[in-house]
């Protein structure tokens, strides 16, 4: 949702500064595009950050996103 909203806002006014945050983002789209989020999340925003847990059991949600500042919060689990 953050990606789509970012693209819609930038299309209307490219001068608007946008920050997006992804919390444990799942990069799989429609069950077949496994790298969708890896390739797209953060690409629209002027700044983007993401927080991942590399030991969760959700496929596609525990990788660094190249277009965001990615923070591994695995060790903070309680």
| Chain centroid, CA 37 distance in Å | 6
Residue 58 or residue 13, greater confidence? 13
- The neighbouring-strand residues paired with 52 are 72
For the chain, how big is the Rg over CA atoms in Å?
13
Q: What is the pLDDT of residues 29-52, one digit of tens each?
A: 767 778 888 899 999 999 999 999
How far, CA to CA in Å, does 77 sit from each of 29, 54, 56, 69, 72?
Answer: 27, 11, 10, 20, 11
Q: In a 10 Å sphere around its CB, with 0-12 CB exposed, 13-18 middle and 19+ buried, how is residue 10 labelled?
A: middle
**What's the pTM?**
0.83
């Amino acid at each position: 949702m953050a990606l789509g909203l970012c693209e819609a806002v930038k299309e209307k006014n490219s001068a608007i500064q946008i920050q997006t945050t992804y919390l444990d983002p799942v990069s799989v789209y429609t069950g077949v595009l496994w790298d969708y989020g890896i390739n797209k999340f953060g690409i629209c925003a002027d700044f983007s950050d993401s927080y991942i847990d590399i030991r969760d059991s959700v496929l596609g949600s525990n990788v660094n996103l190249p277009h965001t500042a990615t923070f591994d919060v695995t060790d903070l689990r309680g």
